[in-house]
Homo-oligomer: A and B are copies of this chain.
C-alpha cells in the first residue's frame, strides 16, 4: 500500500472529542469510586455497556448481531454484502478492579471508525464489523478470551457452558440472562467468516510511553499457559491440634508456591509467572484450612519454554505439598501467536502515511486477536497508557493518543475493506 493508494482518508474525520465522550459514557457502566470499572463478563454492568453500544448502532442505522456466546457485532454494510467482512474490535468486560480503556478502547475506536467513514462518505467494498468479544478478561469465568476462542473454533460452545464463577453461578445461566437482555438480533456463530481482523488496544506496558512513540505495530502475542492447583488438607481446631497432627492446606499451598517461585525464577526476566487467585477454605480464623485453590498464569514468547516449565510444575507441586493431596490441572495452553507480515505492513504504512512514529513490538498480554489469527489475517495497534499501568483502576490514556490509534485503525481497515 503506497500512500497514493489511499484515495479517501477516513482518518481525517476521526473526532478526538467524540471518541473520548463515548469512552467516558461507556465507563459509567460498572464505574468504581477510584475512577476505574468493575464490569465483569456477563454481569448486569457488562450487559448495560453492550446495550449502550447497540443503541449507538441503532441510532446510526447500523445492524447489531449477538451470537450464542454473547459476542456483539455492529455491521456497516459494504457494497458487496456477500464478501467476508473486515472485523475490528476488542472487549467490553473488565477486571474486577479494572480500568476504563482496556478492551473498551478497541470496541469504541471501531465505532468511531464507522462514524468517521460515514462522515467521510466512504463506501467500502467489504462490510466492516465492530465486535465486542465476550469474556476476554477471564476474571469471572476462567479462561478468558472466551468469546473469540469459541468464534474462532478453538473451543466449542458446550465446553464452556458448565464453568462457574467464584460465587458458583454457571456460565450457561449468566449467558442466558445476557442473551435475553441485549437488544441485538440473535445470530449464529457461523454467520460470517472474517476477511481480516484488526484490534486496537492500550499497550498495558511501559514501552511506548518510555519511547514517546504513539503507535505500536504488534508483531505477535506471547504464549500463555494456565494451570490450577488444588491442595487438600484436613480442617482442624486451631487451639487443640498440635502442628504434628495437622494437615494444613495453607502450609502445603505455600510450600508449593515457594517451590514454584524457585522453578520459575528467570534472571533475564522474560518468563512471567503470576498467581492471581489464591483461595483458602473454610476461611475461619480459628480453623486450620482444609482446602487451598490457586491459579497459575505462565507466559513466554517461546512455546518450548512454556511446555517444559509448565510440565515440570506438575512434579514440583506434587513433591512440595507434603501430606496434603495435590491436584494439578492443565486449564489452557495458548501457544505464542505471530501476526503475518502483511498485516504488520498495512498497519505500519497507515501510521507512516499519517506521520505517526511507530515501532513493531510483541504483546505481553493476551488478546482476542490471538484466536482470530487462526482463522484470518490479523493485526493489532497499540497506543501508550500512563505508566504502563493496566488491570488497575488507575489505568489511564490520553485522548490524543487514543485518537491517533483510531486514525491508524480506520485507514488500515478501510484499506482492507477495499481489498
Interface of A toward B, CB cutoff 8 Å: 95-97, 137-139, 142-144, 166, 203-207, 210, 222, 224, 226, 234-245, 248, 250-251, 254, 257-258, 261, 266, 269-270, 272-290, 295, 297, 299, 363-366, 388-392
Contact = CB atoms under 8 A, between A and B. Distances in A.
18 contacts: A96-B283, A144-B286, A204-B237, A205-B239, A206-B242, A210-B245, A236-B390, A236-B391, A238-B297, A238-B299, A239-B366, A254-B254, A254-B257, A274-B286, A276-B285, A276-B288, A277-B283, A277-B285
Contacts of A290: 97, 392
A91 to B, nearest CB: 13
A299 B286 CA distance: 10
Contacts of A391: 235-238, 284, 286-288
* Copies of this chain assembled into the complex: 2
A392 B233 CA distance: 12
Contacts of A240: 203-205, 363-365, 388, 390
Given A261-B251, A284-B137, A276 B95 contact: no
Given A251-B261, A269-B244, A388-B245, A364 B285 contact: no
Contact of A284 (B261, B276, B363): B276
Nearest to A296: B285
Given A239-B224, A286-B297, A297-B286, A275 B250 contact: yes
A388 B236 contact: yes
Contacts of A242: 205-207, 269-270, 272
